[in-house]
């Protein structure tokens, strides 16, 4: 088991903790990480692009002119796709781009992402992060103690003051264990995990 330093908000070592190799020392497979990130991004697509077909365009119910004898091409509706102002043929319609992957693969990818940050030296275990009131300036000051300009912090779900403090800080994001995902870990350069959430994290990923 790997031994990691536990830091306080002043970036000072206060303790040491043993971390499970099955969670923090998993061999990284970039192919699996790529597949899971693609799945997450596909699930976020709105898929609401749409055009009107000839049946959706108003008007055009009457035949523009008689079938024969005018010298013009045959036409049954002025809303045909070959007419200006007509409907679109084979245009995009609202669709669902989302798809799923096995839970085991998603959990494995999440452990890989955490292990990658650990191997890079970009993971910090924080003893605690208490804020008596929402103060963005104080939150950013703590991040500057670690020289972090871009960081994802895994915290308790009920830590409302911390969530409000980081809401307007550019480059930082607070996320509960239940919402932790591969895309957000890889999007941020640094990963900070509160010591109190380690048990929750193991319970979620080691099932």
pLDDT, tens only, 25-75:
999 999 999 999 999 999 999 999 999 999 999 988 899 999 999 999 999
Is pLDDT above 80 for 20?
yes
Tokens read off for 55: 């049946």
Domains along the sequence of the chain with CATH: 2-45+100-205 (3.40.1370.10), 47-96 (no CATH)
Is pLDDT above 70 for 195?
yes
183: pLDDT confidence band, cut at 50, 70 and 90? very high
Is pLDDT above 80 for 157?
no
Answer yes or no: are the C-beta atoms of 8 and 126 closer than 8 Å.
Answer: yes
* Interval 128-150 mean pLDDT: 91
* Interval 176-186 mean pLDDT: 93
Can you give the pTM of this predicted structure? Answer: 0.83
Q: DSSP states of the chain as a string?
A: -EEEEEE-TTS-EEEEEEE-HHHHSPPP-HHHHHHHHHHHHHHH---------TTTSS---S-SS-SSSSSSPP-S-TTSTTSTT-PPTT------------HHHHHHHHHHHHHHHHHHT-EEEES----SS--HHHHHHHHHHTT-SSEEEEE-TT-HHHHHHHTT-TTEEEEEGGG--HHHHHHSSEEEEEGGGHHHHHHHH--
Question: Residue written as tokens 């971390």?
Answer: 19
pLDDT for residue 207:
63
């Amino acid at each position: 088991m790997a031994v990691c330093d536990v830091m306080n908000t002043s970036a000072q070592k206060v303790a040491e903790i043993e971390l499970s190799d099955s969670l923090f020392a998993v061999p990284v497979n970039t192919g699996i990480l790529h597949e899971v990130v693609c799945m997450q991004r596909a699930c976020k697509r709105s898929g609401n692009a749409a055009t009107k077909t000839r049946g959706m365009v108003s008007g055009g119910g009457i035949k523009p002119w008689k079938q024969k004898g005018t010298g013009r091409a045959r036409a049954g509706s002025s809303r045909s796709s070959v007419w200006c102002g007509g409907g679109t043929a084979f245009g995009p319609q609202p669709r669902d781009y989302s798809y799923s992957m096995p839970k085991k693969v998603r959990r494995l990818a999440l452990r890989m992402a955490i292990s990658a940050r650990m191997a890079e030296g970009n993971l910090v275990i924080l003893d605690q992060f208490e804020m008596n009131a929402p103060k963005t300036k104080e939150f950013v000051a703590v991040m500057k103690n670690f020289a972090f300009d871009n960081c994802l912090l895994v915290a308790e779900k009920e830590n409302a003051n911390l969530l409000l403090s980081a809401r307007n800080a550019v480059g930082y994001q607070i996320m509960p264990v239940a919402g932790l995902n591969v895309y957000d870990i890889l999007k941020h350069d640094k990963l900070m995990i509160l010591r109190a959430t380690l048990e929750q994290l193991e319970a979620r990923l080691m099932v």
